[in-house]
């Protein structure tokens, strides 16, 4: 099936959209995660059965969408408002939203702000409803009022440097290619279109207004706090929190698909400074507990009500690693919604 690629002007920014299938089918809008683009959904778009209109958007600062700045103090709303503006521009109603990783937080924020536009939600290894880093416990209690442990300062500077340089090699353990191999997928998994997915990662706009954002230091361990600009700060628990998702009306059904070997979104995430402190990788930890990301998502969805969970033998990217099993679960959810 051929994929169409076009830029769509909206009331906010011009967004790049990949599409496939019937223009009159039920709209299924796929939202990618951090350091990626709509290209990560190519295989899923072309494999959906008839009766659906599959679409995948490049978020701001990724792919071919406008590299507009991100106001981190709004949490993920710059992204979710863009998604809702795209839905309006395309004249879509009753949309099935599918969000992976950071994109899971984006679709949950869109659901929280306009539930009437959403027919169903599918979360794929989503970020916790309490952001990334700086919290503990199932209800996302802050480790410190300033949100220390989260934000752009938590990014690996060598990875950011290689990303900005467009590095395609496997010469460094933190090159985009090796980060893909070691954390986006379960180590040892061979992905045929790896080169194309690395190119997608390299489409990320690097800087204080996009990824990772403005880094802020802190006197409190682990020495970083959220800034006010850019993506990783938008994920900070001081700005992105969905404590009241369970009160929305209507409540479309939510499917949660996750890889059991995920090391990015995990109760023991290798990207969580608190967990790295417990391992001794980040020195000086006062015993700050790791963020239980999966536990937090499960608690929030139980409060929400209408949800189901599917666990696959893979890492952070079920749609890439286990495409047939992923699509089977997704299509079953779409049919029942």
Which tens digit of pLDDT belongs to each residue from 228-284? 999 999 999 999 999 999 999 999 999 999 999 999 999 999 999 999 999 999 999
Closest CA to 314 of 151, 189, 173, 165: 189
Q: Is the peptide bond before 309 cis (omega within 30 degrees of 0)?
A: no
For residue 202, the tally of other CB atoms under 10 A from its CB is 19
CA nearest to 227, candidates 159, 160, 153: 153
H helix or E strand, kind and range, residue 189: none
The CATH number fitting domain 4-336, selected from 3.40.390.30, 3.40.50.1820, 3.30.300.280, 3.10.150.10:
3.40.50.1820
Residue corresponding to tokens 């409540």: 251
Pair 77, 231: CB distance under 8 Å? no
Helices of type H across the chain: 42-47, 77-89, 102-113, 157-164, 176-179, 194-202, 231-234, 273-278, 293-304, 318-321, 323-336
Contact between residue 221 and residue 134 where contact means Cβ atoms under 8 Å apart: no
List per-residue pLDDT tens for the chain, 337 residues long. 679 999 999 999 999 999 986 678 999 999 999 999 999 999 999 999 999 999 999 999 999 999 999 999 999 999 999 999 999 999 999 999 999 999 999 999 999 999 999 999 999 999 999 999 999 999 999 999 999 999 999 999 999 999 999 999 999 999 999 999 999 999 999 999 999 999 999 999 999 999 999 999 999 999 999 999 999 999 999 999 999 999 999 999 999 999 999 999 999 999 999 999 999 999 999 999 999 999 999 999 999 999 999 999 999 999 999 999 999 999 999 999 9
d(CA 119, CA 146): 36
């Amino acid at each position: 099936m051929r994929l169409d690629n076009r830029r769509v002007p909206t009331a906010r920014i011009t967004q790049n959209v990949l599409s496939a299938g019937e223009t009159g089918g039920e709209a299924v809008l796929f939202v990618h995660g951090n350091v990626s683009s709509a290209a990560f959904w190519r295989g899923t778009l072309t494999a959906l059965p008839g009766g659906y209109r599959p679409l995948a958007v490049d978020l701001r600062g990724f792919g071919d969408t406008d590299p507009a700045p991100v106001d981190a103090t709004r949490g993920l709303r710059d992204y979710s408002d863009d998604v809702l503006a795209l839905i309006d521009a395309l004249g879509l109603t009753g949309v099935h939203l599918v969000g992976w990783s950071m994109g899971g937080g984006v679709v949950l924020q869109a659901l929280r702000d306009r539930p009437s536009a959403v027919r169903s939600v599918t979360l794929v290894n989503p970020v916790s409803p309490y952001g990334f880093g700086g919290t503990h416990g199932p209800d996302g209690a802050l480790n410190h009022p300033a949100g220390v442990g989260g934000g752009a300062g938590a990014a690996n500077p060598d990875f950011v440097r290689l990303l900005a340089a467009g590095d395609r090699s496997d010469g460094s353990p933190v090159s985009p290619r090796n980060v893909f191999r070691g954390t986006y997928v379960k180590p040892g998994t061979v992905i045929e279109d790896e080169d194309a997915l690395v190119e997608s990662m390299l489409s990320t706009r690097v800087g204080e207004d996009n990824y990772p954002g403005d880094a802020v230091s802190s006197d409190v361990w682990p020495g970083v706090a959220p800034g006010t600009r850019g993506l990783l700060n938008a994920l900070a628990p001081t700005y992105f929190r969905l404590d009241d998702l369970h009160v929305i009306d209507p409540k479309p059904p939510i499917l949660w698909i996750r890889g059991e070997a995920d090391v990015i979104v995990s109760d023991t995430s290798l990207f969580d400074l608190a967990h790295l402190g417990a391992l001794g990788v980040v020195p000086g930890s006062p015993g700050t507990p790791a963020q239980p990301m999966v536990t937090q998502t499960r608690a929030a969805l139980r409060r929400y009500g209408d949800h189901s969970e599917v666990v696959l033998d893979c890492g952070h990217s079920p749609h890439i690693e286990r495409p047939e099993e992923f699509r089977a679960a997704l299509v079953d959810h779409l049919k029942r919604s």
